[in-house]
Structure formats: structure tokens, C-alpha cells
Chain A
Amino acid sequence: MTETLHARDERDVTETVAWALAGNHPLELRGRGSKAGLGHAVAAGHVLDLSRLSGISSYEPEELVLTAQACTPMAEIEALLVQRGQALAFEPPDFGPLLGTGGGTLAGALSCNLAGPRRFKAGAARDHFLGFRGVSGRGEAFKAGGKVVKNVTGYDLCKLVAGSYGTLVALTEVTVKVLPAPESQRTLRLRGVDAQAAMVAAANSAHEVSGLALADGVTAIRVEGPEPSVAYRLRALTDLLGGEPEVLDDAASRQFWREIRDVAAFSRFHDRALWRLSVPPAGGCALAARLAAETGGRSLVDWGGGLVWLEMPDGAPRADIVRGAFSEGHAMLFRAGAEARAGTPVFQPEAPAIAALSQRVRRQFDPQGLFNPGRMGG
């Protein structure tokens, strides 16, 4: 039986970790549990629930920064930003429906380094993560980074913590960069074109596209910005790319990209294994087509080819086929049953020297391996 400990503030977190350290009690760190199914199952007798560390501490739209307690719900942050015409430029997905859970928290989005369709232009969570306070596996509260948009003072520990799936630090407070939300958007949907060629041509043009996906055989290209600019670029892209164009207006475009962002196409059958592949973009469409054919699965391509989602026809991950299909990049088993996740490395196995270095880094933050042990494998 796992016992859940609910921390209310940083002091509670520090004391809990000190206790865990003294008695060698591994802890599963949890926000709202929306992404608890990502990675490997965690072997811990206690859950450290951080969801009460919630609330926005400061938001200064003109400084482009927001500081919040770590587990502030994403929905609360987005609702506040919208009021001032701003947004998190990395378009954090809501994977609740995909994983059969609920909405997530800011720290969760950062810890899993989430990124939406704008990734190839605006970066991922890591690129907007400015500073934090947290408690290390040594039971020490510390801070890193800052609360301004430009800072190189000391090592950039935010980058390391982004994508560490709670294995380095129990975050208590985070500061992120916020940016103006684009005023308007439209999407060009093209049939009858070579998808990859169209994506490369669009991305390599001066038209500043901010979404490039291939879903159900249709290539989708998003342009965002001030209205006159959007209209102008849409025309230019239509002329450049040919094919049979169809245009989604602002509202339809928003809806379309929300579904791409949240991988809505694959949220129906939770028992089907789902892969997320991060690869050099120019080969993404071909890889997706090959893998779908070979596995009998379905694919969705985002980031101009840099991100491939692959849903298997059933619960079997077929890791050898998936990981054997590319030589550069990595594949994460994003959703699968407990048994499949236990039998397959969820994260792409790394070169021995990198794996060893990563392990040394982890031990410098969490010498006894108390935080989310096993989640990232190793």
C-alpha cells in the first residue's frame, strides 16, 4: 500500500525529503497525476503529493514573466494569460484525454518538457523555463535561474530539470517566460501535394509558418500574426505550394491545432500502444508512412516532420520495428499497458557514455535515488 503525503509548502517538502533520506523511503513525486502514466512505473512506497503548492505568485505582462507555485493548474495559468492577450508560446498540450487522465500542472508540463505544434519555431517548455525553487534529493531547498527573461548567471539548471520527469528536484516554485498570443491565425489545408516537400518548402520560405502537420493524408500549414500579415502570407503560400487548397478560418484553425497538439486522433483507444518519435524533420513523413505500413498502425506527423505519433493496432509496442526504422533521433513509448511498459525501455536507450554521465548527474541531485526511482529507466 502506498501512502500519500500532502505537502503544503516548501518546508513540508524539505522535511518530507529529509525524512525519506533518513529512512531511505523512495518517493513518487506527483502534481495532479495527469502524466503519472508517462515513463516506467515508479517503485516507491510513498507518494509526495505537491498539488497544494498552487497559486500564481506574480504575473507581469510587460516584463513577459510569470512566477507561480509549481503545481498551479495549467488551466488557471492559461485563463489568466488570455485576459492579457498572452500565452505560453510552447503551446503545452493537454494529454488528459490521450492518457485517460485530467488536466495537468505547470511543473508537470516543464518536467516532461512538453511542446505543441509551434515547437519548430518557438521551442519547447525548456526554452521558456527561466527559474525555479525546489528541494533536491539531498533534502536541501535551493534555487536556480532568475525571474527575468535574459540570464546566464551560473549553469542553466532549468534546461536539465525540464524533461527530467521529476527525477532531480521536487519543484516548489517556477518562473516562465510568457509572450503575446498571436492576434489571428489561419490554416491552409492541402491535398494532392507531396506532404514532406510542401512542409520543407513552407518552413524554408520567409512566410514564418507556425504549424506544419500531416493528418489523414492532408497537409496542414498554419500562419499566425496580425491580420494583414496572415492574409498576405496565406496567399503567398497558396501560390508557392499548389495542390488543392482549403482554408480554415481563425476559429476552425484554433480547433484544428488544438486537436493536433493534444493528439486527439489517438485518444479513443487507450489500450493501444502509442509511440512518440522525435527525428530529423525532413525524413518524418516517409518514416511515418513506412512504420504505419509495417505495423498496421496509424500515424500523425507534426513539427514539419520532426514529430511522429504512431498508434499501434493493439497493445503490443513492437519496439524492435519502431526503433529499428530510424538511425537519428529517439522514440518514446508514450502510452502502453503496465506489462508492455515493464518489458520495453520506454525511453530510447542512450549510448553508454551518455547514460553513465546522466546517471552521475542524477546522483549529484538525488544521491540515494529517492525521487521517482525507475521512471526514466536505468
Chain B
Amino acid sequence: MQMPAPDQAAISALPALLAELESFLPAGAIVAERRSVKAFETDGLSAYRQEPLCAVLPRTTGEVARILKVCDRLGIKVVPRGAGTGLSGGALPLADGVLLVMSRFNRVLDIDLPNRCAVVQPGVTNLGITRAVEGQGFYYAPDPSSQIACTIGGNVAENSGGVHCLKYGLTTNNILGVELVLMSGDVIRLGGRHMDAAGLDLMGVVCGSEGLLGVITEVTVRLLPKPETARAVLLGFLSSEAAGDCVARVIAAGIIPGGMEMMDKPALNATEDFVQAGYPRDAEALLIVELDGPGAEVDHLIGAVSEIADACGATYRRISTSEAERQLFWAGRKAAFPAAGRISPDYLCMDGTIPRKRLPEVLSRMQDLSRKHDLRVANVFHAGDGNLHPLILYDANEGDQLARAEAFGADILRLCVEVGGVLTGEHGVGVEKRDLMPVMFDEVDLNQQQRLKCAFDPTQRLNPGKVFPTLHRCAELGRLHVHRGALPFPDLPRF
């Protein structure tokens, strides 16, 4: 993975930049000393490291607007960062860019229960929103496993999901409004407490834009009343085919569970070693199916799911009988990543989505790839929506293992696209999958996407080098190739 060559002019403009920033930012908001800057050199994709030119930690929208304006004028790039938990390197700093750290935007501004929404600053953590409203019986639905740490700004930028997004949607389905600062320093407010856009749905495209279109400075999120009850079922199977079949039949029966997660044997054993959730170690595949909602409905559906599981040959079944037991079922799944970290010095977490029916084939070909690259893999899987998280285990200090892990990961993602899926279901493209984008999109597709950026950021100073494998100048992208002449389709029906 290569980043665009740093711009020496930008690097030498650092003293001028610092002088301008110091004129309006309080002491402590600028981190330029090398030793302190180093703390920001990586995000959740720790295989890549780069110190930024400097880091800036603003507190207000006005400060963000001024910072962007100064950088735009001095020709300096800007990389936004939330909590730095992103797994695709979206917040990886640039050697010639400012890292704009949004962690001080950490206040819940308004809780409006009659309208079932809350207005929060982007640095509030995902769990922080739920914490602020759970006393009144509400919660914020998308729940990435990193929810203690990751920020809502980062969630919006990545359109993050979680184990409950099959039923409750991704971030994009759970936000109502954002305030955004463009690279020009213009502040715009999109959406609000109402439900749909007056004109073009710009908020819809800002969500998931990985910090390339604007800096999010405020978010209005939807709140949901907490379900009356939730219960989970643990199901063990002798093969991933049987488990996959069970998932398909649950959905075909018209049931959309709150969560439906699968783990393969290596993953369930690693988590069992780590948290002792009571998973059946002899199963080849484990399913956690959670039903939530009104008590009567949950009991009814637990019965239906159990019957389907029996018909699919489940060899193990345990239904949670208390909230503590339900939490324990999830404790294993939610700790899958750290558990992988315990059985291996390093791991790469992949994130492709596939049509679910191709799961057995994908898992078996993944085993072939594991042999080819001579690295182990453990699989956790948002089974309901086909989102795979293969965890590739490696040791960065051992020879060429990092390079092999990356090659293995790329092969898995190519496989996902080959069977009709996509490169990323929830972690984003960032730098990690940037060079694989042509596997899924051709040049025309990618150029059209990049043109969108030109409308928001014509000088391309916001987080460049991410998402798109080739940078084109906006003037070049805007060029039109017009063919002169008469209607080239004499046989087109016209009446």
C-alpha cells in the first residue's frame, strides 16, 4: 500500500500554519511536538503507521471552519479522526496533512424524547448516547462491537453497523441530521428532527463518505424505545452448511431476529478460552440468535427458531433464561477480536459481504487460501446479512507474514466479489481496500464517485489517498467527451 508522495511545499508551510492556528486556538489544542504527535500515528488498522504534520483538537464548529479555511488557503491536507478505532485505515494520518481530532466534541446537546431523537456532538461515543437516554427507557440502535470507544462522528463517516443491524439498520438508517463543515470552511446543516430531505439527500451520501466530503460537527440521531424483552438462543451444528441452512430457513419463515451471528470452530474456541461463555467446543459452527420485542412475541419466535434449528440438525441448544445469561452469550461474540488477539500476536479483520447461500463454498475456499498463504483464519459472521469477518492470524515480527496476511485478505475479498458480494459491509474502504476497488467497480463507476467529491471538495484536500486507488484532478474528471452527429440509433422506436 502506497500513499501519494508528500507535498514538500505543504510540509514547509508548517510554521506558517502553526502561527495562524495559535492565533485563534487555545493552548493545548495544537499538538506539534514529535513525541506527542506519535500517539496519533495509527488507527485500528495498526499495520500502517504515519505521523501527521501536526494534530489539532478543536472544540467548536467555528474553530473547525477556521482550521479548514486556513489549511485550504495554505494548500495543506486534512484528515479527520474520531476515536481512531476504524479498521480500514480511514484515519491514517498523512505526512503532509493536519490530523483533525474530534474527540473534544464530546457533549450531548439535546435529548428530545417526544420526537425520539438526540442531538449530539460527533466525539460522543456510540455507547455514550445510549447511556444518556437509557434511564428513560431509550437507546441508540446501531451497536458496533467497538461501541465503548468509537465516536458517533466516526460511525456516520463509516456508516457503521453492529450485531443488531439486520433488524434495526446501519447508521444511515438511524440518523436524522448532520452539521458539516466543507473544506472551504462553509458550514451546512442537513436534515433535522423531521424524517426526510427537502431536496437532494446530501446527508445520505455524507454518511459513509469516510471523511472525504466534509467534517461532521453535529449529529441528530434517532432513538428507539428499549424492547420489552430480549432472549437469545445458542445453537451448535456439525457443519457450517447446516448452520447456514438454519439461518436461511429462519429468514424464509418470515423471522428477522434482532441479531443472528455465526462463529466457526477456531473462533468459538478462541472466545471460549477468553471469556468462558459456555459455548459448545465440539460444534463446527455456532449460531447466536437473539429475538427482541414484546414478551409474547419473543416467546413465540424462540419456539419457532428452536423448531427450525432441530429440523436443520442442531446438536446443541441453549435458550437464555435471564438477562445475565443473554449477556454472557454475547460476551463471547463481542470479545471475538480481542480473543483472536490472544491466540495470535497480530490479526487482520476482513469485512466482505456475500450472498448468504454461497457461505459453504466461501468457507471451504477460504480453507484452501489458508493453506496457500500458510496462515490460520478464524471466522465470525453477521450471518443474517451475509457480512463475513474472517480474522487472519499472523505475526508481524515473523518474516513476510504481514505481506502474506495482506495477500490472503485480498484473496478473500476478491472471492466475496466473485460470488456476487462486496468488498466491505461495514468497516469501510479506507486505505486497506483502496487498491481492490477496481475488482468491484470499473473506471467509469469510480470516476463518477470521485466527481461527487469534486462538488464538496474541489481541491481534494480532505482525506485524499483513501477509498480511491487513483487520484484524478477535478478538472480532468469534469471533461466531457461529446460525439457530434445525428441520432446513432435509426431503429429506436419513436412515436
On A, residues with C-beta under 8 Å from B are: 3-8, 12, 15-16, 18-19, 21-22, 60-65, 85, 113, 115, 119-120, 123-124, 126-127, 136, 138, 140-144, 146-160, 162-164, 179-181, 183, 200, 203-208, 225-226, 228-229, 231-233, 236, 278-282, 303, 306-307, 328-330, 332, 347-348, 350-351, 353-355, 357-358, 360-365, 367-368, 376
Contact = CB atoms under 8 A, between A and B. Distances in A.
Interface string B442-470: 10111011011011100000000001000
Contact of A5 (B205, B255, B451, B492): B492
Nearest to B454: A364
Given A6-B494, A115-B196, A282-B115, A62 B252 contact: yes
Nearest to B198: A330
Contacts of A154: 429, 437, 440-441, 445-446, 449, 467
B427 A347 contact: no
B483 interface: yes
Contact of A146 (B112, B422, B489): B422
Contacts of B248: 62
Nearest to A284: B194
B294 A156 contact: no
19 contacts: A4-B495, A5-B492, A123-B173, A144-B449, A148-B425, A149-B385, A150-B426, A154-B429, A154-B441, A156-B204, A206-B225, A206-B226, A225-B294, A228-B300, A229-B297, A232-B295, A281-B194, A347-B199, A364-B455
A350 B452 CA distance: 20
B161 to A, nearest CB: 6
A180 B254 contact: yes
Given A143-B445, A153-B424, A206-B226, 18 more contacts: A18-B482, A19-B485, A19-B489, A119-B195, A147-B420, A149-B385, A151-B424, A152-B170, A152-B424, A152-B426, A160-B452, A163-B197, A225-B297, A229-B296, A280-B192, A328-B192, A328-B193, A348-B199
Contacts of A307: 195
A5 B173 contact: no
B445 A163 contact: no
Contact of A60 (B194, B355, B421, B446): B355
B353 A376 contact: no
Q: Which range contains the number of B residues in contact with the other chain?
A: 35 or more
B97 interface: no
A360 B294 contact: no
Contact of A232 (B294, B427, B456, B480): B294
B227 A157 contact: no
B296 A150 contact: no
B455 A357 contact: yes
Contacts of A143: 441, 445
B487 interface: yes
A21 B479 CA distance: 13
Contacts of A18: 482-483, 488
Interface stretch (B183-191, B315-323, B400-408): B183-191
B485 A22 contact: yes
Contacts of B493: 5-6, 8
B114 A282 contact: yes
Contact of B198 (A12, A205, A229, A347): A347
Given A144-B448, A279-B194, A353-B186, A363 B455 contact: yes
**Which 9 pairs, one residue from A and one from B, show the smallest C-beta to C-beta distance?**
A159-B204, A229-B297, A180-B254, A330-B198, A282-B114, A280-B193, A232-B296, A360-B455, A329-B194
Given A119-B195, A154-B449, A280-B115, A163 B208 contact: no
Nearest to A160: B205
A281 B193 CA distance: 8
A283 B182 CA distance: 32
Main secondary structure of the interface of B (DSSP, over half): loop
B176 to A, nearest CB: 9
Nearest to A7: B492
A361 B452 contact: yes
Contact of B207 (A138, A141, A159, A163): A159
Contacts of B350: none
Given A126-B201, A200-B114, A229-B293, A155 B423 contact: no
B200 interface: yes
B444 A141 contact: yes
A226 B300 contact: yes
Given A150-B165, A354-B202, A361-B452, A62 B356 contact: yes
Nearest to B356: A63
A156 B357 contact: no
B209 A155 contact: yes
Interface in B252-305: 252, 254-256, 293-297, 300-301
B420 A148 contact: yes
B200 A150 contact: no
B422 A148 contact: yes
A304 to B, nearest CB: 9
Contact of B487 (A19, A113, A231, A360): A19
Given A351-B189, A361-B200, A206 B294 contact: yes
A85 B196 CA distance: 28
Contacts of B427: 152
Nearest to A12: B492
Contacts of A22: 482-485
A88 to B, nearest CB: 14
Contacts of B420: 147-148
B199 A3 contact: no
Interface string B325-345: 000000000000000000000
A350 B198 contact: yes
B74 interface: no
From A5, A140, A146, name the one whose CB has the most chain B CB atoms within 10 angstroms. Answer: A146
B427 to A, nearest CB: 7
Contacts of A15: 487-489, 492
B386 interface: yes
A278 B424 contact: no
Given A115-B196, A232-B295, A278-B194, A153 B422 contact: yes
Given A123-B173, A152-B159, A113 B251 contact: no
A208 to B, nearest CB: 6
Contacts of B467: 154
Contacts of A229: 293-294, 296-297, 300
A124 B386 contact: no
A126 B488 contact: no
Contacts of A282: 112, 114-115
B75 to A, nearest CB: 21
B19 to A, nearest CB: 29
Nearest to B351: A152
A7 B252 CA distance: 37
Given A140-B448, A229-B297, A278-B194, A123 B169 contact: yes
Given A63-B357, A155-B208, A120 B256 contact: no
B387 interface: yes
Nearest to A182: B254
A136 B477 CA distance: 14
